[in-house]
Each structure stands twice: as structure tokens, then as C-alpha cells.
Amino acid sequence: MRSLWKLATSPASLAVLSVAVVITAALVGYTYKKPTRQASLFHRLWTTDEIVLYNGTDEGTPILLGILGSVFDVTKGRSHYGPGGVTITSQGARIFLGLDFRDASRAFVSGNFTGDGLTDSLRGLSSVEMKSVVDWRGFYMRTYVFVGKLIGRYYDNSGNPTKYLKGVEAKAARGAQLLEKQKLEEDKLPSCNSKWSERDGGEVWCDSGYPRLVQRPFEIALTGRMSKRCVCFKEEELQRPGLEVYKGCDHLSKSCPV
């Protein structure tokens, strides 16, 4: 027994015991720290009733935002997404956030982040507008932390994408293809130079050729609306059909007020 006691109380044994105590304490501490507030958010399924609670009004909880059924922790952008926060939409509108963040997919196109504008319905949007929403989702994927999926219009109770989400993504992909085709077509014709100032208004001009308005190809398919752009044409090309002279501009003027 004495030999066992001497062995247990020897310097070498005490050193091993000390190391074991330190390791055990570290493991215990790690066990208690593991289930942090942030870790509990990762890759789960959310309901609308849950996500609206994470709106930044409680500084002790994250701020969550939903777009196309994907949920992101945007807490690091609290100055933009918390109560009284201000951000700028794609249309340049200033909006105040942090009041009721559910899936606000449509608001990323409309710029209306209040009341009825906070909806996940994209009904009636063009393929370009659909593409814009999908691009916003990509921005949040790159910039913030993806924490799961929102059960509802875009994901079912098992977290599988719905037909609605697949339809949105397909329409957005068609929009991207049409935009590329439009760009290739428009690159064939030189665009006018343009400038605008509050004092002088707007002006378009051509360094070579004469400014004319032409219908943008694919625009109706892209946006559901017609729009035109300014193109410079040589004098021998001015008889082409579909060319429109700017109002108040001479037929052979190289610059026109707009």
C-alpha cells in the first residue's frame, strides 16, 4: 500500500494528473460553450412566425432576412437591417428596416419594404425582374451567413424546392439569356453619347453619325414594355425603317436636347 501511495504522489504522477485535470476542464468548458446562439441557427427549417421574431429589436438575438425562401443571418449589417437602419434599394430609394422581416422577395424589386410590400409573391414580374431577385439572393449568399430555408412558397416541409421556386429560377435564367442576346445585338450599333445636368437638362450627341431613337430588341420579352435607346447612324443609313428623330432636333443635327 505504501508503495502504491509513493507511486501516486511521485512528481511524475502528479504532473500527469495535472495535465489530465487541465484537459478535462478544457473539454467540459468546450462542451458548455458548444451550443452557442449562432450555432443553433445553422441549416434548419424556419416558419414565418419564427423568422419575424429575429427582426433586430432585441440586441441579444440575430437579425434574419428571407429571400426566395433562403434565410440569412444579416446581424453584421445591423446598421442597415436593425430598427431605424437605412439602406439603399436598387432604385436608389432610402428605406427603414427592422420592423418585420419575413421573406421580402418582391420588395427587392419594388423597393417597398413596408406593409404589403413585404411579400414573397413574385406574380406578374418580368423575367428581368425575376433575374434581379435571384441576383439579390446570390448577393446575400456571398455576403452573409445562410442559416436555412423558410417553409412556404419556395420550400416544402422537408426543405425541398417547390415548383414555384423552380419556375422563378427558370424564368430568371431565360431573362439572363435574353439580356445577353440583347447586349450582343445592341453592340452591333454604336450608342449615342449623353449627359444631363439639373441646370441644362439632357443632351445626346454623336461623334460620328446622327442620333436616332430605335426600339430595343427583346425588350418586350424581357420587361413586358417597349423602350428605345439612342443610336448613331451614318447619313446613308438614315432611311432605314424604324428610326425616330428626336423632337425639336434637326434631321442632320449631331446633337439633340432630351
Per the CB < 8 A criterion, the answer to whether 108 and 132 are in contact is: yes
Pair 145, 179: CB distance under 8 Å: no
The answer to whether 42 and 73 are in contact (CB under 8 A) is no
What number of CA atoms fall less than 13 Å from residue 137's CA on the CB side?
23
* H helix or E strand, kind and range, residue 45: strand 44-46
CA gap 84, 54 in Å, rounded:
15
What fold does the segment set 45-181 form as a domain? Answer: Flavocytochrome B2; Chain A, domain 1 (3.10.120)
> Grid coordinates 413585404 are at which residue?
118
Question: Does the CA dihedral 228-230-231-235 come out positive or negative?
Answer: positive
Q: Crossing angle of helices 127-143/163-186, nearest 10°?
A: 110
Q: Print pLDDT tens along the chain (258 aa).
A: 444 344 444 554 444 334 333 333 333 333 323 333 444 566 789 998 888 888 878 888 888 888 899 999 988 887 777 664 444 333 333 333 434 455 667 777 777 666 676 677 888 888 888 898 999 999 999 999 999 999 999 999 999 999 999 999 999 999 899 889 888 988 898 999 999 998 889 999 999 999 999 988 777 666 767 889 999 999 999 999 999 999 989 999 999 999
What is the distance of C-alpha 158 from the center of its chain?
25
Looking at the chain, which residues constitute the CATH 3.10.120.10 domain(s)? 45-181
What's at 32, amino acid-wise?
Answer: Y
Model pTM greater than 0.85?
no
The single residue listed with the C-alpha cell 509513493 is 6
